[in-house]
Amino acid sequence: MAEYWGVKVEDIFNSMQERFRPEGAKDVDSLFGYDIKDEGKWKLTVKDNKMTIEKTDDLTGCIATMKADGETFVGVNTGNVDATNAFMGGRVIVDGDMGAFGKTGKLFRKFVIAQKEMTTKDYLADMFATIVPRFKANEAEEGLDVSFAYDLGGPDGGKWTVFIKDKKCTITTTIEGKPTVTLEFNDARDYVDFILGKIDAQSLMASGKAGAKGDLNMMATKWPILFEKYKDPMAGNVPQQELIVLKKIISLNEKFSTGPVMGKFLKGLKEQKIYANKCPQCGRMQLPPREVCADCRVRVDEFLEVGPKGEVRYMDIIYYAMPDPLTGQVRETPYGGINILFDGCKGNETLPHFIRKDQIEKIQMGWNEKKGTRVRPVWEENRIGDIWDIKYFEIDE
């Protein structure tokens, strides 16, 4: 059988069973025929939300039959030929009940050309063949004269040297001269995985699978500037199967003990009070409270109420929201994360929280003796002894 865009007519029929959508066959109970010129005939049977496909010479009993040549049939199924134009131009003909045949469109998921795997040797050939085109001459300084050597082991490995001189890049398939830096990999497959981001350099070096000689800093700092990042030829391929995603927040019925110290802090929030504990030796006020002073290494038992007002010592505006690891919730961006130095505390003993969204631009950070914007907490009406008993902070006006 002939191939069209790398696909044979029988490839499409052979994939029908796995592409079949039972939910699309609820009201279908018929026989359909396909007469593909110079390729053969196939009969599709759909009944009781099931299907069978068989190659046959007899299409009697079919409610409708599609007729087309192999190139048009493959082209329509792979998206290389417009189905409407093919039908209007007479390249696709349907004999029989055209309305019934139209129902076959919802019976199957779209045919996707099978992804062809690249071997390690294929990747290496592509990676080193694209080095010169990826070179950014405008980023090379005047007088830069360096060379990068690659010694890749294993059955698919090889040796290469990349030279940069006079703002030009050349490459050889041997290691020549005295390279500025030489990368050595026991197995070329590890190098391919490293370039594709599947494994990190530190793991490879720590396990003895890779090493470097010479000016490694030159490779780490100069190479990313001088060369465009390698693009995986396989990354743009259409997935072979449709991706089904179920978005759900997983909830586990678990309980954790806060302990007496953090427990007192959280209970205080329920009563609209903010507690720190004071070191008996250095007088440091710890917030949130901890069992032991990190400086003096002594137990801290004295609790004092601080705040609830304070000043902003630091603020970070977040434009990319990460999901909350406990709830899966994603905060609307942008939002301001602040660190508050409460009245009664000093130094860097700050508590992180959030500022009211519409006041982000009005916040001034404190620094050394400079005072930051004064803020106060806005409490939840129903408090449960949780850090989110404070909804956010707002400017104390």
Parallel/antiparallel/unpaired status of strands 145-152 and 181-185: parallel
Residues 285 and 389 in one domain: yes
Per-residue pLDDT of 317-341, as tens digits, reads 888 777 776 666 777 888 899 999 9
Residue at which a domain ends, from 76, 106, 136: 106
Place 239 in a pLDDT band, splitting at 50, 70 and 90.
Answer: very low
Is residue 366 assigned to a domain? yes
Residues 133 and 209 in one domain: yes
Q: How far apart are CA 355 and CA 388, in angstroms?
A: 13
Is residue 27 assigned to a domain? yes
Residues 181 and 218 in one domain: yes
Model confidence at 387: pLDDT above 70: yes
- Sign (positive or negative) of CA dihedral 354, 355, 358, 362: negative
Place 116 in a pLDDT band, splitting at 50, 70 and 90.
Answer: low
**pLDDT at position 79, please?**
85
> What percentage of the chain reaches a pLDDT higher than 70?
95
CATH code assigned at 126: 3.30.1050.10
Q: Is 381 left (phi over 0), alpha (psi -120 to 50) or beta?
A: alpha
For 370, the domain range is: 259-395
Residue at which a domain ends, from 73, 106, 139: 106
Mean pLDDT, residues 363-388 taken together:
91
Per-residue pLDDT of 256-268, as tens digits, reads 788 899 999 999 9
What the block records as the tokens of 304 is 């004092």
Q: What is the mean pLDDT of the chain?
A: 89
Strand arrangement, sheet containing 335-342: 351-354, 335-342, 310-318, 374-379, 390-395
Residue at which a domain ends, from 106, 138, 161: 106
Residues 88 and 138 in one domain: no
**pLDDT at position 96, please?**
93
- How many folded domains does the chain comprise? 3
Mean pLDDT comparison of 37-41, 249-253, 315-319, highest-scoring range? 37-41
Residues 102 and 131 in one domain: no
Residues 127 and 222 in one domain: yes
Model confidence at 238: pLDDT above 50: no
Kindly list the distances between the CA atom of residue 2 and the CA atoms of 8, 37, 133, in Å, as whole numbers in the listed order. Answer: 6, 12, 36
Mean pLDDT, residues 74-92 taken together:
89
pTM value?
0.39
- Taking residue 367's Cβ as centre, other Cβ atoms within 10 Å add up to 10
Residues 90 and 154 in one domain: no
Residues 109-131, buried b or exposed e (16+ Cβ, 10 A)?
A: eebbbeeeeeebeebbeebbeeb
Is residue 246 assigned to a domain? no
Residue appearing with tokens 């903010």: 274
> What percentage of the chain reaches a pLDDT higher than 90?
61
**pLDDT at position 240, please?**
47
| Residues recorded for the chain | 397
Query: If we measure between CA atoms, which residue out of 181, 32, 17 comes closest to residue 97?
Result: 32
Residues 151 and 38 in one domain: no
Residue appearing with tokens 């990042």: 229
**pLDDT at position 237, please?**
47
The DSSP H or E segment spanning 129 is: helix 120-129
Is residue 250 assigned to a domain? no
Q: How far apart are CA 170 and CA 147, in angstroms?
A: 9
Mean pLDDT, residues 167-186 taken together:
94
Residues 275 and 206 in one domain: no
Q: What is the chain's Cα-based Rg?
A: 34
Is residue 372 assigned to a domain? yes
Is residue 174 assigned to a domain? yes
